[in-house]
Amino acid sequence: MGSTAERGLPALFDWFFEAAYPPSLQEDPPILRQFPPDFRDQEAMQMVPKFCFPFDVEREPPSTAVQHFTFALTDLTGTRRFGFSRLRAGAHSCLCILSHLPWFEVFYKLLNTVGDLLAQDQVSEVNELLLHLLQQPLPGTQDSVGLELGSGVMISSAQGIPSPGPGKSMPLSCFVAPDSGRLPSIPENRNLTELVVAVTDDNIVGLFAALLAERRVLLTSRKLSTLTSCVHASCALLYPMRWEHVLIPTLPPHLLDYCCAPMPYLIGVHASLAERVREKALEDVVMMNVDSNTLETPFDDVQALPPDVVSLLRLRLRKVALAPGEGVSRLFLKAQALLFGGYRDALVCGPGQPVTFSEEAFLAQKPGAPLQAFHRRAVHLQLFKQFIEGRLEKLNRGEGFSDLFEQEITCSGASSGTLRSYQLWADNLKKGGGALLHSVKAKTQPAVRNMYRSAKSGLKGVQSLLTYKDGDSGLQRGGSLRAPSLTSRSDCLQQRLPITQHFGQNRPLRPSRRLQREERPSESLGEETPSLSPEDAQGPLAEEALDGSFLGSGEELDLLSEILDSLSVTATRNSSLRPSQSLDCCHSLPDIPGRWRWQADDEKPPGPQPLSLSVGLPPLHTPQPSDATSASEHPTSQLPSEASPEIISPSQSSTASADPSSKGDPSSSLTDPQPLRLSPPHEATQDPTAQESPCSQLSTAPSPRESPPLLTPTKPNSDITWTSQVLDSFSDPGSPENPRAQPSEVLLPERTHLQPHEEPGAPRSPDPPAGNWRGLQARSRPRVAELKKCFEG
Amino acid sequence: MSMEDYDFLFKIVLIGNAGVGKTCLVRRFTQGLFPPGQGATIGVDFMIKTVEINGEKVKLQIWDTAGQERFRSITQSYYRSANALILTYDITCEESFRCLPEWLREIEQYASNKVITVLVGNKIDLAERREVSQQRAEEFSEAQDMYYLETSAKESDNVEKLFLDLACRLISEARQNTLVNNVSSPLPGEGKSISYLTCCNFN
């Protein structure tokens, strides 16, 4: 059988079965059918079906509608598996797919397909479908998968409808492999949508606070789908942290005693069992009744959060909860960044030593502030410990990372500690860092040049790739994949600015703040555009004014979210694919393609736009290496170093397009991203005497705004994208790392080393460059700390 | 498990590196009196044993969490509500002993609300492969102010004693606590709560 043959390889799912309604609480639900037919895991077969009827089967009247819910299993090593379940109307039986993949919407949709087939007694078709699924390798992120009887599975790595061959009908079922790097979005993410719909804002905040305090939390609801959705969604609010403790989205009746566990847990209990749970020896449990929207807690967890974070959440949640998109996720991400973003400043790195986390340094931030009090508790949270451990592990492996959280910290300046330390660091530089920087410069420049050289050669491969992918789908795919690198680039940019460009000056504000007052990604781009340019003009001033406002920075998120939103469109544009990610399985929303269209067309700029975005960003960085090096000597002038012209040339030569943006071309639609990119020009404005070249270079950056032209997948453009991207990663080492290069010279060789890696990778998929880039970027961080230390010492 | 026939209910949490025999220890103690393995699918399991000490029925709930070994140290949120911790290492495995400070770091920081911690060196049936001397362990446990015992889950050595001793200490601790402060509401984020399901019995 396919499954056994492929054992060892990750499969899309482990086991499918249908279990019948158990006649009594004492009896196990009989398995009616299963796939693969030779599935023989006795333990699973005995234990798992009980999770399909997690309510009092003797009392609970069968529900009239189909219900989807997801239970979770945790094995002895702590690995989680999910049981995606579809309880038939009337609860006569339950279909269930067991999988490691948290692909809720995908599996719900599959279950619907299977359920429909079974309803028509098309058992062999079901088996065929499942067999195809089991035999195929895991689709990559955002690959679309079409399932068709007879011809099997089609995976297209593109963002298109997997065309079922000439003149054929639409596939039986299709879905897009979710991108785990994206934030849950409403209404595509069903869990989050259910949470927001079912639970009031205040209670969401309360729940979040309880989870952040690692309480024992019990949710109850009469509706299984709502129950498990709320459990999964509230876990997801913790991102980038994870709920490290016991997680039982829906507790089957035979395990009710487990509510007495003394350790933190998050457990969902169906309303029919809630009474029995309450009779147990529960202590200090936070109870939330989703149906009545009541949260009972013996703790003051919300009060234990810094008041500004609470008010941010409360104020903004009301607004964003009503709007489609990533608003809610962004908001909590922002809260997390405010709460934990300071961890970066507590990273310690000595030359030749692994990066470590200094709890003392972490706790010393914001003395006396509520945040400090929060940190005192936070360091004793498992989720924080594991988070730090994960970060250190990556840093010390040289793997690096740039996820949404890091981007959020940087772009919101969430850890104002970061800013301060940069400032401090810069001050120190003024006093005595000159010598250091001199030598840094000497060391870096050759390296940068080297990188540039190999970048160039790497480009060739990329070009060929892009030629190959010239078709619609190819381009779209590229766009979606580039998303992470795009954002990380902006992250990098943000982070670098203070280090590289402002020695001896007042630190310019991060440009992203400028847009604080801007609306959320608005539905009508047209309206927004005009408002942008004036804002641009007064940028520096506005920034200055807003700098201190903690809360206000909440808005900056929207910059990124706008980018991401537009990126997501690539995925969502194909309306036919859309349903797989939607709530269609609730049957409350019909699969009307048009429904999605409004979103794609109205709310967001044309899908591929992100592509162009990525085109724009990279050049930005290029100036920076030169910046860093030259800045050391002449902070104000001389930005055009030897390296930068070289680097820039490719992008410039290829596009004049770059320029319009520099002129602030307001005609382009993407408002939010701009500020991010514009940051360098900003500085230029502040320091008009110098930096002509950065300006011109920067002009390339905004090119994203031009995206509309780029929409048409023209080869030259895509080439540019890559050029800049590759260059970017190389230039990256130049800037933030310059300083760091000194303590450990090893780094540079290492970095150069990355290039060969990248070259072969790039043609295959855009991922590798992004990865490399991340590595570079991440490394820069500890080194900043390291340097800082050196100076302080 | 509701209001049954017992005078005390204590929740005990097992911690320690993977493979030191935590689960065996408990299974040996409970001797299958309570069917274990029910919770194997949800990442947490517990076993129950009721013992009688000085005529009082003490119900011990011993909790074992899957996958906690992946934590290099466990934070206080984990044992906040436990009455006692059994920190286990393997006497034939130096590494498991060396990890103890890491495990203890969180626990010690809150000396005022200290949860009762017992150090257990397991696998003394494998004496010939011993890597951690008893003396060393004793010194360590003294320094940490912990009760220390060596056991063999396999041979059932000291297993009964371990839990009985622990139950005795828990009882006396519980009595003290109720006498000292009847209000046992722990501060949020810290402190331990003892299950006074039966606090009326103390008077």
- The CATH number assigned to the domain holding B151 equals 3.40.50.300
Residue A659 confidence (pLDDT) above 70: no
Tell me which of A606 and B118 has the higher pLDDT: B118
Q: Report how far residue A534's alpha carbon sits from residue A514's, in angstroms, rounded to the nearest whole number.
A: 11
| Least CB–CB distance from A74: residue in B9, B67, B82 | B67
Preferred mutation among B10, B75, B199 to probe A, highest tally of A CBs within 10 A: B75
Q: What mean pLDDT comes out for the span A708-729?
A: 37
> Is B191 part of any known ligand binding site?
no
Residues of A in contact with B24 (CB under 8 A): none
Judge: B78–A263 Cβ closer than 8 Å, yes or no: yes
pLDDT (tens digit per residue) in A115-130:
999 999 999 989 988 9
Q: Are B15 and B89 in contact (CB under 8 A)?
A: no
pLDDT (tens digit per residue) in A480-512:
333 333 333 333 333 333 333 333 334 444 444
| Least CB–CB distance from B9: residue in A43, A281, A299 | A281
> Is B181 part of any known ligand binding site?
no
Residue A155 confidence (pLDDT) above 80: no
Q: Is residue B84 part of a domain?
A: yes
Give me the half-sphere count of Cα atoms (radius 13 Å) on the Cβ side of residue A565.
Answer: 33
Band (pLDDT 50/70/90 cuts) for residue A154 is low
Q: Is residue B52 part of a domain?
A: yes
CA distance B79 to chain A (A): 6
| Least CB–CB distance from A264: residue in B73, B77, B197 | B77
Of A556, A479, A534, A430, the residue nearest A160 (C-alpha): A479
Residues of B in contact with A280 (CB under 8 A): 1-2
Band (pLDDT 50/70/90 cuts) for residue B150 is very high
As to burial, measured by CB atoms within 10 angstroms (0-12 exposed, 13-18 middle, 19+ buried), residue A159 is buried
CB contacts < 8 A, A to B, total: 132
Question: CB-based contact (8 Å) between B198 and chain A?
Answer: no
Judge: A255–B39 Cβ closer than 8 Å, yes or no: yes
Q: Report how far residue A732's alpha carbon sits from residue A329's, in angstroms, rounded to the nearest whole number.
A: 29
Tell me which of A207 and B23 has the higher pLDDT: A207
Q: What mean pLDDT comes out for the span B101-110?
A: 78
Report the pLDDT value the prediction gives residue A150, as an integer from 0 to 100: 64
Residue A697 confidence (pLDDT) above 50: no
Judge: A260–B71 Cβ closer than 8 Å, yes or no: no
Residue B124 confidence (pLDDT) above 90: yes
Q: Is residue B47 part of a domain?
A: yes
Residue A220 confidence (pLDDT) above 80: yes
Residues of A in contact with B69 (CB under 8 A): 78
Nearest CA in chain B to A373: B189
pLDDT (tens digit per residue) in B41-63:
888 888 888 899 989 999 999 99
Residue A641 confidence (pLDDT) above 70: no
Q: What mean pLDDT comes out for the span A17-44?
A: 91
Percent share of chain A, pLDDT over 90:
34
**How many beta carbons lie within 10 A of that of residue A451, not counting itself?**
29
Residues of B in contact with A301 (CB under 8 A): 188
CA distance A623 to chain B (A): 43
Q: What mean pLDDT comes out for the span A748-760?
A: 38
Residues of B in contact with A263 (CB under 8 A): 13, 44, 63, 65, 77-82
Tell me which of A169 and A396 has the higher pLDDT: A396
Q: Are A495 and A737 in contact (CB under 8 A)?
A: no
Report the pLDDT value the prediction gives residue A170, as an integer from 0 to 100: 53
Report the pLDDT value the prediction gives residue B175, as an integer from 0 to 100: 86
pLDDT (tens digit per residue) in A565-602:
444 433 333 333 333 333 333 343 333 333 333 333 33
pLDDT (tens digit per residue) in B165-195:
999 999 998 888 776 654 444 333 333 334 4
Question: CB-based contact (8 Å) between B65 and chain A?
Answer: yes
Q: Is residue B112 part of a domain?
A: yes
Residue A750 confidence (pLDDT) above 80: no
Look-up: residue for tokens 């059988």?
A1
Q: Report how far residue A494's alpha carbon sits from residue A409's, in angstroms, rounded to the nearest whole number.
A: 10
Question: CB-based contact (8 Å) between B46 and chain A?
Answer: yes
Residues of A in contact with B77 (CB under 8 A): 213-214, 245, 263-264, 380-382
Residues of B in contact with A244 (CB under 8 A): 71
Preferred mutation among B42, B47, B104, B196 to probe A, highest tally of A CBs within 10 A: B42
pLDDT (tens digit per residue) in A185-208:
999 999 999 999 999 999 999 999
DSSP state of B49: E
Report the pLDDT value the prediction gives residue A583, as an integer from 0 to 100: 39
Judge: B189–A257 Cβ closer than 8 Å, yes or no: no
Q: Report how far residue A691's alpha carbon sits from residue A689's, in angstroms, rounded to the nearest whole number.
A: 7
Tell me which of A644 and A59 has the higher pLDDT: A59
Report the pLDDT value the prediction gives residue A15, as an integer from 0 to 100: 95
Report the pLDDT value the prediction gives residue A445, as an integer from 0 to 100: 42
Q: Report how far residue B151's alpha carbon sits from residue B55's, in angstroms, rounded to the nearest whole number.
A: 26
Bridge partners, A15 (sequence order): A98
Residues of B in contact with A264 (CB under 8 A): 77-78, 80
Provide the number of structural domains found in chain B: 1
Q: Are A102 and A231 in contact (CB under 8 A)?
A: no
CA distance A624 to chain B (A): 40
> Is B11 part of any known ligand binding site?
no
Q: In order of start, what are the domains of chain A with their CATH numbers?
A: 15-137 (3.30.450.200), 190-336 (3.40.50.11500), 338-424 (no CATH)
Q: What mean pLDDT comes out for the span B25-47?
A: 73
* Average pLDDT over chain A, rounded to an integer: 64
Judge: A264–B78 Cβ closer than 8 Å, yes or no: yes
pLDDT (tens digit per residue) in A396-445:
988 767 789 999 998 877 554 444 443 343 344 344 333 333 333 334 44
Preferred mutation among B38, B69, B77, B183 to probe A, highest tally of A CBs within 10 A: B77
Range with lowest mean pLDDT among A22-36, A98-112, A536-550, B15-29: A536-550
> Is B158 part of any known ligand binding site?
no
Judge: A304–B189 Cβ closer than 8 Å, yes or no: yes
pLDDT (tens digit per residue) in A299-334:
999 999 999 999 999 999 988 887 899 999 999 999
Report the pLDDT value the prediction gives residue B114, as an integer from 0 to 100: 66
**Domain limits for position B164:** 6-174
Report the pLDDT value the prediction gives residue A286, as an integer from 0 to 100: 96
| Least CB–CB distance from A377: residue in B9, B65, B189 | B189
Q: Report how far residue B76's alpha carbon sits from residue B113's, in angstroms, rounded to the nearest whole number.
A: 11
pTM for this structure? 0.63
| Least CB–CB distance from B75: residue in A75, A246, A380 | A380
CA distance A158 to chain B (A): 38
Report the pLDDT value the prediction gives residue B151, as an integer from 0 to 100: 92
Preferred mutation among A258, A286, A299, A383 to probe B, highest tally of B CBs within 10 A: A258
Q: Is residue B200 part of a domain?
A: no
DSSP state of A356: E
Tell me which of B70 and A494 has the higher pLDDT: B70
Q: Report how far residue A65's alpha carbon sits from residue A463's, in angstroms, rounded to the nearest whole number.
A: 53
Of A460, A728, A695, the residue nearest A614 (C-alpha): A728
Tell me which of A357 and B182 has the higher pLDDT: A357
Report the pLDDT value the prediction gives residue B32, as an integer from 0 to 100: 52
Report the pLDDT value the prediction gives residue A34, as an integer from 0 to 100: 95
Look-up: residue for tokens 């030779």?
A38
Q: What mean pLDDT comes out for the span B89-105?
A: 91
Complete DSSP assignment for A137-173: PPPPTT-EEEEETTTEEEEESSSS----STT----SE
Q: Is residue B194 part of a domain?
A: no
Nearest CA in chain B to A285: B81
Report the pLDDT value the prediction gives residue B179, as an integer from 0 to 100: 67
Percent share of chain A, pLDDT over 70:
48
pLDDT (tens digit per residue) in B156-165:
889 889 999 9
CA A585 → CA A35, A307, A380, A581, distances in Å?
A: 22, 39, 40, 9
| Least CB–CB distance from A283: residue in B74, B75, B81 | B81
Q: Report how far residue A458's alpha carbon sits from residue A723's, in angstroms, rounded to the nearest whole number.
A: 9
Range with lowest mean pLDDT among A20-34, A450-464, A480-494: A480-494
Residues of A in contact with B185 (CB under 8 A): 298
Q: Is residue B99 part of a domain?
A: yes
Residues of B in contact with A246 (CB under 8 A): 42-44, 65
pLDDT (tens digit per residue) in A662-676:
343 434 333 333 333
Judge: B68–A381 Cβ closer than 8 Å, yes or no: no
Q: Report how far residue A421's alpha carbon sits from residue A361's, in angstroms, rounded to the nearest whole number.
A: 11
Which residues have a Cβ under 8 Å from the Cβ of A453 and sit 6 or more positions away?
none
Judge: B39–A304 Cβ closer than 8 Å, yes or no: no
Residue A655 confidence (pLDDT) above 80: no
Q: Is residue B26 part of a domain?
A: yes
Range of A276-285, A723-732, A764-773, B120-129 with top mean pLDDT: B120-129
Nearest CA in chain B to A262: B81
> Is B154 part of any known ligand binding site?
yes
Percent share of chain B, pLDDT over 70:
78
